[in-house]
Structure 1
Amino acid sequence: MLLERIHTDHKHISKLLNLLDKKAIRLEDGEAINLNFLRDVIDYLQRYADHSHHPMEDILYHYYLDKNGGSQGAIHRLEEEHAILREATDQLMDTLNMILNDAVVPRDRLIANIKDFAAMQRRHLAQEEEHVLPKLEKELTDEDWQKVEQRVSETLIKDPLFNNEKDSDYDELRAYLADLGEI
């Protein structure tokens, strides 16, 4: 079911945000971190969250708004938030790539970028989980969910990190999460 997949994606994204927080703390403590690992987290969020998960939600939100006649505050703003999150993800990826290509980026700037990014993502997830999804679950019928799932099926890709099929692009990240018992 689509709603179940959205909740599952949110749990997975939250796990990765927790990892970002831990890496930011290590940076604050003056420790070295594996920036390639950090880049893998952000790459996953670009490839999966920004290009499959958020478009899936946008289809759901548009369906709901069309069915209920237009704009409904928080639901209407979510597509805008997805665009802002996509831009923030791209900016953080650019910063990481600059550092990995030997550009000098102040440590405190990187730490602030990671923390701001994770906080922005969490606010968005909380808005959806606490306010929007319960409303949609309550108001949409089984028939509505079937219609949305048909529309969404074209935009969905398999989760390249949290699925049973191994995507070699995330081997290191998957192994790290498995060691933590997160997969």
Structure 2
Amino acid sequence: MNNIELLKKEHENIQRMLDVVHKASLDVLQNDKIDVDDLKKMVAFIRRYADKTHHGKEEKYLFKAMVKDLGGPAEKVIQGGMLIEHDLGRLYVSDLDEALDSFKEDPSVENKLAILVAAGSYEHLLRRHIQKENETVFTFGEKHLPEKSMERIEEQSQAFEADVENAAEREYQLQVLKELEEKYL
């Protein structure tokens, strides 16, 4: 599996978590009792798997090479689009984490709404973001990056994947995803 295929596979896992977040949000809407611990696990998955692992590889390897080697058009798409959306996603996750803390201290309707707004904002952003990357950004990179750059990205990605700590974290988060899917889907 090459780097682009791996990134797309990670997108599938992130979308699986978005399905869990969606279902958990429906539970928040319909019930007075909210499992804050489960929602915190979702936040941790997003931060550790979607952001640190997946977005980290995109930003450090693929996007960096695209901006360096392809210039103008890639720079606009990456810096004016993808990186801004990564940061916006981080903001929504931070908002969700804070809303969960607030709800835990004060289970008010207002804090419940804050959970729903943050979770829904993140879900909507990421679904659109993934579609753009899969259909446009990755295709553009594959078609236009020099072979030498693609080989370097591949080497960097393989080294990241082979790192013992990264592999352990990835496997742990995928296990959490599976457990949450069993509970919510």
Q: TM-score range by the shorter chain?
A: 0.7 to 0.9
Distance 1:170-1:122 versus aligned 2 partners, 3 A rule: closer
**1:168-179 paired onto structure 2 within 5 Å:** 173-177=177-181
Give ranges in structure 1 of 5+ residues lacking alignment.
none
Partner of 1:74: 77
Given the alignment of the two structures, is residue 146 of structure 1 paired with residue 148 of structure 2, yes or no? no
For residue 104 of structure 1, report the CA deviation from its aligned partner: 4.1
Superposed CA offset, 1:109-133 (max 9, x none): 2222211121111121121112111
Distance 1:150-1:170 versus aligned 2 partners, 3 A rule: closer
Distance 1:142-1:31 versus aligned 2 partners, 3 A rule: farther
Partner of 2:48: 47
Partner of 2:57: 56
**TM-score between both structures, scaled by the size of structure 2:** 0.79
Between stretches 149-158 and 130-139, larger displacement belongs to: 149-158
Given the alignment of the two structures, is residue 160 of structure 1 paired with residue 169 of structure 2, yes or no? yes
Aligned alpha-carbon RMSD (Å): 2.7
For residue 46 of structure 1, report the CA deviation from its aligned partner: 0.7
Partner of 1:113: 118
Distance 1:173-1:133 versus aligned 2 partners, 3 A rule: closer
Distance 1:155-1:95 versus aligned 2 partners, 3 A rule: farther
Partner of 1:97: 101
Between stretches 9-18 and 123-132, larger displacement belongs to: 123-132
Q: Work out the percentage of aligned pairs sharing the same amino acid.
A: 19
Name whichever structure is richer in helix by fraction.
2
Give ranges in structure 2 of 5+ residues lacking alignment.
none
